[in-house]
Amino acid sequence: MDAQDKLYTETMKGFWRENPVFVQLLGLCPALAVTNSAINGLAMGGATAFVLLGSSILVSLFRNLIPKQVRITSFIIIIATFVTVADLSLQALLPAVHKELGAFIALIVVNCLILGRQEAFASRNRFPYAVGDAVGMAVGFTFALVLVGGIREVLGNGSLFGFSLFGESFEPWVIMILPPGGFLTLGVLLIIFAQVKKSRDKRSALEAGKEAA
């Protein structure tokens, strides 16, 4: 596989095949805690993307300088630095969003997705691949957050990105924007994905059987 192809696969895998939330079940705390509306999901996804990209670049560049024994601690400190930057910048630039997300911006530090990517990928691969991997994972994560947030907002508030969809007569399903709605939405999404995967596997098994025959 040449370099271009490898870069492409490393980037694309995060979108769907190894989607951090739906497939790897990583980074669930923010994925559920702040996704009571699509816009919050987008903001959280953006902040996480910034931290993930920043730390992947730094870890990948310094991967030969960081001693193996203290690598986890070093990763955490690098991540914490970027989170502090994101936290303070959001507070200054978008105070409304910062207020809405509250302590969960700071909690990006302990998002297992970010530390997991540093340990499993960025510390072992060259700079361009680490960037590709980080971009893919970040986009996949943001997509998952916006999807969950969008579903919860439409059902629980009758709006999407703050625009009302159904008019006055809509009776909101309030439970969806409260905590239980997060668990239920993600549970139902996982069921749908499992069903899609099952039927696709069955179809490809059938086709393989036909070719063999």
Q: Where do contacts with another protein occur on this chain (CB under 8 A)? A: 25, 28-29, 32-33, 73, 76-77, 80-81, 83-84, 87-88, 102-103, 106-107, 109-112, 115, 175, 178-184, 186-188, 190-191, 194-195, 198
24: phi then psi, degrees, rounded to nearest 5: -90, -10
H-type helices in 94-178, by residue range?
95-101, 112-117, 127-157
Give the CA angle between residues 150, 154, 157 to the nearest 5°.
120
**Minimum CB separation from another protein for residue 48, in Å?**
13
Nearer to another protein, 66 or 107 (CB): 107
**Minimum CB separation from another protein for residue 144, in Å?**
14
H-type helices in the chain, by residue range?
3-12, 28-33, 38-61, 71-93, 95-101, 112-117, 127-157, 179-212
**Minimum CB separation from another protein for residue 65, in Å?**
19
Nearer to another protein, 3 or 194 (CB): 194
132 and 125 Cβ atoms separated by less than 8 Å:
no
12 and 6 Cβ atoms separated by less than 8 Å:
no
**Minimum CB separation from another protein for residue 187, in Å?**
3
Nearer to another protein, 132 or 182 (CB): 182
Left, alpha or beta for 162 (phi > 0: left; psi -120 to 50: alpha)? left
Nearer to another protein, 162 or 179 (CB): 179
Nearer to another protein, 32 or 47 (CB): 32
Nearer to another protein, 11 or 37 (CB): 37
**Minimum CB separation from another protein for residue 213, in Å?**
27
Give the CA angle between residues 66, 72, 76 to the nearest 5°.
100
Structure token digits, residue 142: 């943001």
**Minimum CB separation from another protein for residue 151, in Å?**
14
Separation of first and last alpha carbons in the chain:
32
